[in-house]
């Protein structure tokens, strides 16, 4: 039986992408899911072992920056829709290597848009280009207020500027070529399979190994945390229900000062590792601040909740505990991704500066 829809998911071997691939492969047996990923340091097929043999799933290794390869892929696989997550995603790496972010996030997105435009000459209901973006495009907030879909773009890091550039291109292809598109801008995600360069898994890994927990600046920056599986369900709802050309913010109304979050994490880890209360917190170490460090992110996701009926499923304390349990139970995964390139990154980022 022919598939109802051939859906290209880019970056499906990464953190959020692997959760989106898993959800779509399991929930929609009549869709054919094609996971395209370059397998950079952040991409890992071990994130998908539970679904890799499913009949409606196919993995293709490739680079979105290679325009000829992308155009051919759209034709060969008869791509009907795209959920685009492939990106360079870590702010600190964008400070040390900005051009790679421009290539993947801007040029790579342009290549996908262009291939979709040529493939879907007269777009049908099957066609949709879903661009997964970030709240960082909106810049930073003071003590009050929230990012809404109408907030002006004001990115500060090469990462957020490259994501803002890709959002603008997506809207330009909609307005100029009538490409059916949808964009979502989400807040900080946490959960299983996140590469331990990001705050929560890095801290779990360091606590486990009795290494310092590096806190940038005074630890007063605020992030709005969402469980990754809730992001995946939001993407599912938006992909299926949103009107073309629309943007949705995704977030869980869950703001935490970095230092408060780390204290909560330390108390969970004390308990899980049977350590004396207060001992993990002794690892907290204040380090030089991130350049251009945004102070506060907070998402207003009421449009998504009101129009499409999505809401987050988990309280943060519960989600964080589940996340700690996952990392402690998945030693092999964590040890594999924290060898090789990771040691070089860690040394450059934290030891030698
Ligand atoms: P990630 O770094 O874990 O994964 C990115 C994936 O993209 C990896 O599998 C990598 O191999 C792949 N990739 C990178 N360059 C590629 C290229 N040139 N061609 C093909 N594949 C390539 O990232 P993530 O945290 O899962 O984020 C996924 C998307 O969601 C990104 O677009 C990011 O901007 C966005 N986002 C992330 C968060 C968050 O908190 N992590 C929040 C909001 C939005
Ligand atoms: O808001 C969405 C964004 O969230 C996504 O678009 C990005 O892809 C994702 O990486 C994330 O960006 P952040 O920079 O907010 O995440 P990170 O985990 O790197 O940092 C979270 C906060 O913790 C931030 O204020 C910096 C601080 N931090 C981070 C690290 C890695 C530390 O204090 N110490 C650290 O070692």
- Which residues have CB under 6 Å of ligand 1? 10-11, 13-17, 37-40, 42-43, 63-65, 85-89, 104, 108, 132, 134, 163, 186, 188-189, 195
User: Is 270 part of a structural domain of the chain?
Assistant: no
Percentage of residues of the chain with pLDDT beyond 90: 96
Average pLDDT over residues 25-47: 97
Res. 101: pLDDT tops 90: yes
Number of domains in the chain: 1
Identify the band that residue 277 occupies on the pLDDT scale cut at 50, 70 and 90. Answer: very high
Asked about 289 being catalytic, the answer comes back as no
User: Is 117 part of a structural domain of the chain?
Assistant: yes
Ligand nearest to the CA of 136: 2
Res. 186: pLDDT tops 70: yes
Average pLDDT over residues 253-269: 98
User: Is 327 part of a structural domain of the chain?
Assistant: no
Write out the residue range of the structural domain in which residue 135 sits: 5-191+223-254+297-314+342-351
Nearest ligand 1 atom to alpha carbon 84? 32
| Ligand 2 site-directed mutation target among 85, 87, 90, 91, most atoms within 8 Å of CB | 91
User: Is 330 part of a structural domain of the chain?
Assistant: no
Average pLDDT over residues 5-32: 98
| CB within 8 Å of 251: residues ≥ 6 apart | 135, 186, 187, 224, 226, 298, 299, 300, 301
**C-beta 13 within 6 A of ligand 2:** no
Res. 7: pLDDT tops 70: yes
Res 192: pLDDT: 98
User: Is 207 part of a structural domain of the chain?
Assistant: no
Average pLDDT of the chain, as a whole number: 97
**C-beta 162 within 6 A of ligand 2:** no
Q: What is the pLDDT of residues 119-142, one digit of tens each?
A: 999 999 999 999 999 999 999 999
Res 353: pLDDT: 62
Res. 303: pLDDT tops 90: yes
User: Is 127 part of a structural domain of the chain?
Assistant: yes
Q: Three-state SS across the chain?
A: CCCCEEEEEECCCCHHHHHHHHHHHHHCCCEEEEEEECCCCCCCHHHHCCCCCCCCEEEEECCCCCHHHHHHHHHHCCCCEEEECCCCCCHHHHHHCHHHHHHHHHHHHHHHHHHHHHHCCCCCCCCEEEEEEEHHHHCCCCCCCCECCCCCCCCCCHHHHHHHHHHHHHHHHHHHHCCCEEEEEECEEECCCCCCCCHHHHHHHHHHCCCCEEEECCCCCEEEEEEHHHHHHHHHHHHHHCCCCCEEEECCCCEEEHHHHHHHHHHHHHHHCCCCCCCHHHHEEEECCCCCCCCECCECCHHHHHHHCCCCCCCHHHHHHHHHHHHHHCHHHHHHHCCCHHHHHHHHHHHCC
The domain spanning residue 182 has which CATH number?
3.40.50.720
Nearest ligand 2 atom to alpha carbon 224? 1
CA-to-CA distance for 318 and 280, rounded, in angstroms?
Answer: 19
Res. 226: pLDDT tops 80: yes
User: Is 206 part of a structural domain of the chain?
Assistant: no
Percentage of residues of the chain with pLDDT beyond 70: 99
What long-range pairs does 47-50 form, CB within 8 A, spacing at least 24? 47/13, 47/14, 47/15, 47/18, 47/193, 48/12, 48/13, 48/18, 48/21, 48/22, 50/22
Res. 341: pLDDT tops 90: no
Res 241: pLDDT: 98
- Higher-pLDDT residue of 352 and 55 is 55
Res 248: pLDDT: 98
Average pLDDT over residues 153-171: 98
Res 325: pLDDT: 98
Res. 340: pLDDT tops 90: no
Res. 320: pLDDT tops 90: yes
CA-to-CA distance for 314 and 333, rounded, in angstroms?
Answer: 24
User: Is 78 part of a structural domain of the chain?
Assistant: yes
């Amino acid at each position: 039986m022919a598939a109802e829809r051939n859906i290209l998911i880019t970056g499906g071997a990464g953190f959020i992408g692997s959760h989106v691939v898993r959800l779509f492969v399991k929930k929609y047996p009549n869709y054919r899911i094609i996971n395209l990923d370059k397998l950079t340091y952040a991409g890992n097929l071990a994130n998908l072992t539970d679904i890799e043999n499913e009949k409606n799933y196919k993995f293709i290794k490739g680079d979105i920056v290679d325009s000829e390869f992308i155009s051919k892929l759209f034709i060969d696989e008869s791509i009907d829709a795209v959920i685009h997550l492939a990106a360079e995603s870590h702010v600190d790496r964008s400070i040390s290597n900005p051009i790679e972010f421009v290539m993947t996030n801007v040029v790579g997105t342009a290549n996908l848009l262009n291939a979709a435009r040529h493939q879907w000459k007269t777009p049908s209901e099957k066609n949709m280009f879903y661009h997964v973006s970030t709240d960082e495009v909106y810049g930073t907030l003071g003590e009050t207020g929230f990012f809404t879909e109408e907030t002006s773009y004001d990115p500060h890091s090469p990462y957020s500027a490259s994501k803002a550039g890709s959002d603008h291109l997506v809207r330009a292809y909609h307005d100029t070529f009538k490409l059916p598109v949808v964009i979502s801008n989400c807040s900080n995600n946490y959960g299983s399979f996140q590469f331990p360069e990001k705050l929560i898994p890095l801290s779990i890994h360091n606590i486990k190994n009795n290494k310092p927990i590096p806190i940038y600046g005074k630890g007063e920056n605020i992030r709005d945390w969402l469980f990754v599986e809730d992001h995946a369900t939001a993407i599912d709802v938006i992909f299926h229900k949103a009107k073309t050309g629309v943007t949705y913010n995704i977030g869980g109304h869950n703001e935490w000062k970095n230092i408060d979050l780390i204290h909560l994490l330390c108390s969970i880890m004390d308990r899980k590792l049977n350590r004396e209360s207060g001992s993990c917190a002794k690892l907290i170490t204040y380090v030089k601040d991130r350049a251009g460090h945004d102070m506060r992110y907070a998402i207003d996701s009421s449009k998504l909740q009101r129009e499409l009926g999505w809401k987050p499923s988990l309280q943060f304390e519960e989600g964080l505990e589940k996340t700690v349990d996952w990392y402690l139970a998945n030693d092999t995964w964590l040890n594999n991704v924290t060898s090789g390139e990771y040691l070089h990154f860690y040394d450059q980022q934290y030891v030698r500066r």
